[in-house]
Amino acid sequence: MFNVSMLLDDALVSDFWASFLPIFRYVMFGIIIACAIVMIITTLMQANDSSKSLDAFTGASQESYYSQNKGASRDSILKRITIAMGIIIFICIILFFVSEIFIGVK
């Protein structure tokens, strides 16, 4: 006979978490590694803007069509990808360590 208390049984719930959390942690670790590699590559592909810091100090600034439309440039796309990878890494690390807490609670 089916009983509602069977759904709330701790053994069934703990079996699910015992099998799900290790797989979840491997997936999170894989996502962190993949995003870190993409973040390193996109950071290295960005242009070096060391002259921009000196422009603020000396007051020299050149306005051009390229500088006004940076939103569609290659560097802005790489910057957005780098920021997105950083956010994904941050969220995955939080989830990874929260799952560690749940494993320890058993």
DSSP assignment of 55-70 equals HHHH------HHHHTG
Q: What is the pLDDT of residue 1?
A: 46
Q: Report pLDDT digits (tens) over 71-96.
A: 568 888 999 999 999 999 999 999 99
DSSP assignment of 28-97 equals HHHHHHHHHHHHHHHHHHS---HHHHHHHHH------HHHHTGGGSHHHHHHHHHHHHHHHHHHHHHHHH
Q: What is the pLDDT of residue 48?
A: 76
Low-confidence winner among 30-39, 42-51, 74-83 (lowest mean pLDDT):
42-51
Answer whether residue 100 shows pLDDT above 90.
no
pLDDT category of residue 62 using cuts at 50, 70 and 90 = low
- What span, in angstroms and rounded, lies between the C-alpha atoms of 49 and 54? 10
pTM: 0.67
